[in-house]
Amino acid sequence: MSAVQARPLTGEKLIVVPYRKVSASAVATNVVLILLGCFFLLPMLWMVFASIDSNPDWAIKIPSPTIANFTDVLGRADALSSFRSSLILAGTTTVVTTVLALLSAYPLSRMHIPFKRSFMLLILFASGLPVSMLVVPVYQMYVYLGWLDSLYTTALFLAASSLPFAIWLMKNFIDAVPVELEHAAAIDGASTFRILREVVLPLTVPGIAVTAIYTFINAWGAFIIPFVLTYSPDNQPGPVEIYNFMGSHGLFKFGDLAVFSLLFSVPVIVLYLFMSRYFSGAFNFGGAVK
């Protein structure tokens, strides 16, 4: 009790203040956090250690270092082709979603449109629907359209399912850009599209980047939709390939599997770090880490 009361008040952020004495609750807090941290770290460490171990097992252990697993995976045509597929799938999804979200969000933020508020509520509602579960009717639609087994048509469905949230996100970013600049450009006689291209676009770059990165991270990890809508081995993105490897007991070595999923995870971690470092104000996520 008294130890707690002696602590300085910390309303906004925790400020490091030299403790006169280390209180029991402060010790407990940090010990519990270290234990929780181990619970999160241990499963991850297995992947890192197994990837450089010449004889890995299911359990985490000190590796006998080798780079053979990495050279193995980088020499596999199926592993490389799944990276290519993931890039096409996630790249196409991201471009389509971001461009359409920007085009839709601008008038929703700036212009007078009848029933605008209802439309935004509908968009918010749509972004909460479990769209991936509609993969069964979409499969049947794609059979009729002859769209099965193409990364581009698969990306279109991924784009449609991520669009509502992307519009929502983008509109909030555009709302934050001062409207006066556009009024000035309009008074000078610039057309709507010119205002969008030369005034709004440069000011909305953080919003566009966050929307694009968010969409890319989701599409990069998407599993059930490409799993159902594509079938030829060349069109399998990373997650489906890793799933197939997990099922082929013995055909794929632990070490290779660890390397493959490690390499597949690196891009999204890098993108997330980039996003949280440069645009932390946009999400307020930084404070939890820093």
Partner 1 sequence: MAVAGTLGPRLDRERFQWSSLLMLAPGSVLLLVLFLGPVLYALYIGFTNLALVGSRSRDYSFTGLENVTRMLGDYVFIKSSWLTILFVVGSAIVGQSVLGMLLAILLRNAVVPIRAVVGSVVIVAWVLPEITVALIWYAFSQAGGTLSILLGHTSSNYLVLVPMLIVSLANLWRNVAFSMLVFSAGLRNLPSEVLEAAEVEGASVFRRYRLVILPLLRPTIVTNLLLVTILNLSEFTLIYAMTQGGPGIETTTLPIYVYQEAFVFHQLGYGTAISLVLVLIGAFFSLLFVRASRSQV
- Contacts (CB under 8 A) with partner 1, residues 81-120: 96, 99-101, 103-104, 106-108, 111-114, 117, 120
CB of 96 to partner 1, least distance (A): 8
Footprint of partner 1 on 266-285 (CB under 8 A)? 268-269, 272, 284-285
Quickly tell me which residue has 């009717």 as its tokens: 137
Binding mask 215-244 for partner 1 (x = CB under 8 A): --x--xx-xx---x---------xx--xx-
Q: Is residue 251 involved in binding partner 1 (CB under 8 A)? A: no
4's tokens = 């707690």
Specify the amino acid at residue 19.
Y
Contact range with partner 1 by CB under 8 A, out of 64-72, 74-82, 123-131, 201-209: 123-131
Query: Of 205, 218, 225, 200, which Cα lies nearest the Cα of 97?
Result: 218
Q: Is residue 207 involved in binding partner 1 (CB under 8 A)? A: no
What is the C-alpha separation between 101 and 118, in angstroms, rounded?
17
Footprint of partner 1 on 60-79 (CB under 8 A)? 60
DSSP code at position 189: T
CB of 224 to partner 1, least distance (A): 5
CB of 74 to partner 1, least distance (A): 18
CB of 41 to partner 1, least distance (A): 5
Residue 65's beta-bridge partner residues?
A: 53
**CA-to-CA dists, residue 266 to 91, 260, 288, angstroms:** 16, 10, 21
Q: Which of 24, 64, 65, 125 binds partner 1 (CB under 8 A)?
A: 125
When the beta carbons of 75 and 112 are compared against partner 1, the nearer one is 112
**CA-to-CA dists, residue 194 to 185, 190, 199, angstroms:** 9, 6, 8
DSSP code at position 94: H
Radius of gyration of the chain (CA): 24
When the beta carbons of 5 and 232 are compared against partner 1, the nearer one is 5
Helix (H) or strand (E) holding 129: none
Q: By rule CB under 8 A, what count of residues binds partner 1?
A: 103
Contact range with partner 1 by CB under 8 A, out of 64-72, 76-84, 121-129, 200-208: 121-129
CB of 75 to partner 1, least distance (A): 21
Q: Is residue 290 involved in binding partner 1 (CB under 8 A)? A: yes
Q: Which of 68, 88, 95, 134 binds partner 1 (CB under 8 A)?
A: 134
Q: Is residue 181 involved in binding partner 1 (CB under 8 A)? A: no
Q: Which residues contact 5 (CB under 8 A, 6 or more apart)?
A: none
DSSP string for residues in 263-278: HHHHHHHHHHHHHHHH
Asked whether the beta carbons of 69 and 258 are under 8 A apart, the reply is: yes
